[in-house]
Amino acid sequence: MPGIDQVRKVKLWKNYIARFREAFLFFFLNNFLLKITPYWVRQGFMKKILGYKIGNDTSIAMHCFFTGYDIKIGNNTVINRYCYIDGRGPLYIGNNVNISHYTIIHTLTHITNSPFFHAQQRPVAIMDHAWIGARAIILPGVTVGEGAVVAAGAIVNRDVPPYAIVSGNPAKVVGERTRDLRYTTRYFPFFDTDIQ
């Protein structure tokens, strides 16, 4: 009969192997698939291997960085180059959403006053027809309402009302967007360019 130490070592080894496999999947996605493969290959991997829910005609550009498994993306959504997409907590991105390059979306944070720096998941939702400007940062626990616009460089630390335009750090409402949004986003540029 194996001793307690041996059972413990086996459990630790199995845990290590599982974590190594998970790390390798994301390393492979972020450092190979999202750098040189066509849309259907990288998004197929995300759906079949990582279990992401990704809608029809959604475009995930090269050079993004994905982490975590809890990601749902609707139809006709664009995630442009060099975005950081965090699915370690629940992340929902709706239909016809435009996420501009270098955007950061976080669903995991640390509790500031925790003596042990505990992590905390807080869901993020970006609703239909929202437009996130370049280099915006969406912090954990935020909902960006339907049709809302987050200006370039804004840092969003609280919910954005539907059809509001927000700007600044922290982001504040600076205007209102039309509610008559009829467009369907379809953006599949060739390679790592803006040419389609």
Angle, CA of 151, 122 and 153, to the nearest 5°: 15
User: Tell me, what's the pLDDT at 178?
Assistant: 97
The pLDDT tens digits for 71-127 are: 999 999 999 999 999 999 999 999 999 999 999 999 999 999 999 999 999 999 999
The answer to whether residue 110 is catalytic is: yes
Other beta carbons within 10 Å of 45: 18
- Residue 16 in tokens: 């290590």
pTM (predicted TM-score):
0.93
CA 196/CA 86 separation, integer angstroms: 27
41 located within any domain: no
> Does residue 119 lie within any of the structural domains?
yes
Calculate what percentage of the chain has a pLDDT beyond 90.
92
The CATH number that applies at residue 93 is: 2.160.10.10
Q: Which residues span the domain enclosing 79?
A: 51-176
- Strands 108-110 and 119-121, how do they pair? antiparallel
Which one from 63, 101, 110, 129 is the annotated catalytic residue?
110
